[in-house]
Amino acid sequence: MEKPIEQALNDCLFFSVKKLDRLLNKMADEAFKKTGLTPTYGFILLILKEKDGLPQKDIAQLLCSAPSTIARFVEKLEYKGYIKTVSDGRLSLVYLTDQGREFVKEIDSSWEELHHAYQEILGSVESEYLSKAINSATEKLQKK
Q: Which residues make Cβ contacts (< 8 Å) with residue 91, sequence separation at least 6?
A: 55, 56, 57
Residue type, 33: K
Tell me: the pLDDT tens digits for 88-120?
Answer: 888 889 999 999 999 999 999 999 999 999 999
Angle at which helices 39-50 and 67-79 cross, to 10°: 90
The whole-angstrom separation of Cα 60 and Cα 100 is 19
**Are the beta carbons of 40 and 64 closer than 8 angstroms?**
no
- Of the CA atoms within 13 Å of residue 99, those in its CB half-sphere come to 8
What is the full per-residue pLDDT of the chain (144 aa) written as tens digits? 588 899 999 999 999 999 999 999 999 999 999 999 999 999 999 999 999 999 999 999 999 999 999 999 999 999 999 999 998 888 889 999 999 999 999 999 999 999 999 999 999 999 999 999 999 999 999 897
Nearest to 109 by CA among 32, 16, 48: 32
What pTM was estimated for this model as a whole? 0.88
Domains and CATH numbers, the chain: 5-143 (1.10.10.10)
